[in-house]
Amino acid sequence: MKKERSLAGRLLQYGALTLFVHVAACSDAAPPPPPAANAAEQGTAADAATDAKLVVAFGDSLYAGYNLDQGKGLAPVLEKALNASGIKARVVNAGVSGDTTAAGLARLAFTLDGLPRKPDLMLVGLGGNDMLRGLSPKETRSNLDAILTEAQKRGIPVILTGMLASPNMGPDYAAAFNPIYPELAKAHGATLYPFMLDGVTGHRALQLPDGIHPNDKGVTVIVGKLAPVVAKALKP
């Protein structure tokens, strides 16, 4: 709880910008259909499938590389970090800007079925858009629970990257939303990365002009913290 309060404290700037974010930050005006993981990236994933760990990054704009140049988003930077650490891996970008947990659940089977084989690991990062739109935490929990259940059925290990409610959503909302990630990770035996934006929130030099999304330097900070967790999950 102490760690969670500390992380929530670093969201003060996040909360101040929420009204803007509702319109622009975590969603594009017209979110695209199912992700590139099932089209352009499928061939490269297939090429690497025989001798590399296959990781699918399944999430929203924080995974998709929102407003970043090609090669600067989470998936390619994480892939480079893993390979540099001695773990041969292919990280498939299955992030879609604007996705809620309901939208993610709706495309989950399509995404997984479109991969060349069962992933060795799936990163799940959804729920931020639910929170910013004020959707019911009960719905967020139910959708994430269904996503993790499907991953379990398919025998896919999961790292769940968490989100925290913006302070201006109010204490009641935060009390219902914030426990979703640790409780579901525990229930499903998933690895928890408590806060996806840890190390970036509150640091404008690491953010895009919207004050929320990481820029390329911010992605590097996130990967620096996340890659060791991913590497550990991929080791036998």
With 0-12 CB in 10 A as exposed, 13-18 as middle and 19+ as buried, what is 70? exposed
Output b/e per residue, 103-128; b: 16+ Cβ within 10 A: bbbebbeebbebbbeebbbbbbbbbb
Say which of 27, 99, 166, 213 is annotated catalytic: 213
CB contact set of 97 (below 8 Å; sequence gap of 6+):
26, 27, 28, 31, 32, 60, 61, 64, 66
Say which of 28, 145, 210, 216 is annotated catalytic: 210
Based on the residue annotation, tell me whether 188 is a catalytic residue of this protein. no
User: What are the CB-based long-range contacts (under 8 Å, 24+) for 213-217?
Assistant: 213/25, 213/26, 213/61, 213/62, 213/66, 213/67, 214/62, 215/68, 216/68, 216/69, 216/72
Task: Return the structure tokens found at 106.
Answer: 């709706």
Task: Return the structure tokens found at 148.
Answer: 């993790």
Say which of 27, 61, 97, 166 is annotated catalytic: 61
Do residues 15 and 167 touch, judged by C-beta distance below 8 A?
A: yes
Based on the residue annotation, tell me whether 213 is a catalytic residue of this protein. yes
Q: Catalytic residues, which ones?
A: 61, 210, 213
